[in-house]
Chain A
Amino acid sequence: MDKKRREFLKIAGISTLAGLGAPAVVDRFVSGSSPLAALAAREVETGGHGEPAEAQAAPAEHVQQSVTTGIRLGMVIDIRKFIDNPEMEKECVRVCHAVHNVPVFSRKKDEIKWIWRTGYENAFPEHTNYYRNDEIEQNEVLVLCNHCDKPPCVRACPTKATFKAANGIVAMDYHRCIGCRFCMAACPYGARSFNWRDPREGLDMNKLNREFPTRMRGVVEKCNFCADRLGRGQQPACVEATGSTKAMVFGDLNDPNSEIRQVLKENYTIQRKPSLGTSPSVFFII
């Protein structure tokens, strides 16, 4: 009896080792490399620091804007024209927020914004703020969601409530938003607002745009590049508000014959925080 148990344990042990070991051996034969070589290859791939290869390449990314096929909607904002006409900035904000039923809350913490005015040093912290000229010093810059080509908010969203549409718009599906605010933490431009309160408290229910919904408490919202208006063949509301001044030009960045590409070709433009590698689709002429 004792001997039999001993035999059994031996066979069981050997079978276990064979069972665990066999797949590794087979894998090595299939891939045709030794484990040491495989390890070395992985080191090269990740730059040897366990970081994804993408992160290593990031600093150079902002020079070369990645996607060049398909539609990529973008915008050029001409700050000079807004400086000439400061009322137009406020009009853009007013029109956008009216069209999209964006609530107004007096407390800063509850504020919801799709497009807003901010100081030059906040919009472009990577550019020098030392001895700025008077025009930049005394005026504010109109900023909105950059609809990045590599949107960090989309990577952060656990439910795919925010996603990149085929035309380059970084869109929100409020039906899916669970209000975790990861996207707000991920966005380096502060373009996202959280509905701490029921947005209808901050809206005049008699002056709503009845073609567009409101949001509910507990979702994150932001500029949608007027995807709804584009679908009806209209321009974005802010672009329309600037009229014929060409202070804002909207179009397809991947179409070499588009107006926006013409403007980009003729003017020196900057993007917000380009070194982060998000490839913003909104450009500024200063």
Chain B
Amino acid sequence: MYDSGKIITGLIIFVLLITFPIWYNHGDAGEVPKPELPKDSKQCVLPTSEMRSNHMQLLNQWRDEVLRTGDRAYFELEGKKYQKSLQNACIQCHTSKKKFCDTCHTYTSVNPYCWDCHLVPVESE
């Protein structure tokens, strides 16, 4: 191989550069976010694991049912009736956007546009 010295050094530098985030953080993915769960209620619409991975699909499904098919049927949880609504249901238990939504969204670097229109719960602090 011609110029093997230059090529191999170049490759090493390249690999070091693109793995910068890994070795700079010592292979640590950072502290896993701990969203603050509601104190008064124990049960959510779906089991926690499903909510964690699929809450966006559920919100889209609610949106389409309510807005487009006009199916505004209420659902019941722990004896209380709720509308299929981010602003009128989710927020009633998850009373802080900063301590709940934002913790994971910031960690995973996603920017949902829900709050461009929907009103953020009034933060108590």
Contact = CB atoms under 8 A, between A and B. Distances in A.
Interface of A: 163, 165-167, 171, 173-175, 208, 210-216, 227, 231-232
B30 interface: no
Nearest to A206: B122
Interface stretch (B6-14, B48-56, B66-74, B94-102): B66-74
A195 to B, nearest CB: 10
A174 B68 contact: no
What 5 A-B pairs are tightest by C-beta distance, nearest first? A231-B72, A216-B116, A213-B117, A213-B118, A216-B117
Interface centre among A171, A213, A214 (most CB of B within 10 A): A213
Contacts of A163: 68
B87 A210 contact: yes
Contact of B68 (A173, A213, A214, A232): A173
Q: Interface of chain A, helix or strand or loop or mixed?
A: loop
Interface extent on B, as a size class?
A: 10 to 19
A231 B84 CA distance: 11
A166 B68 CA distance: 9
B44 interface: no
A190 B63 CA distance: 27
A125 to B, nearest CB: 33
B119 interface: yes
20 contacts: A165-B68, A165-B70, A166-B69, A167-B70, A173-B67, A173-B68, A175-B63, A175-B67, A210-B119, A210-B122, A212-B87, A213-B87, A213-B117, A213-B118, A215-B117, A216-B116, A227-B70, A231-B66, A231-B72, A231-B83
B88 interface: yes
B92 to A, nearest CB: 11
Nearest to A209: B119
A219 B70 CA distance: 21
A232 B63 CA distance: 16
Contact of B119 (A165, A171, A213, A216): A213
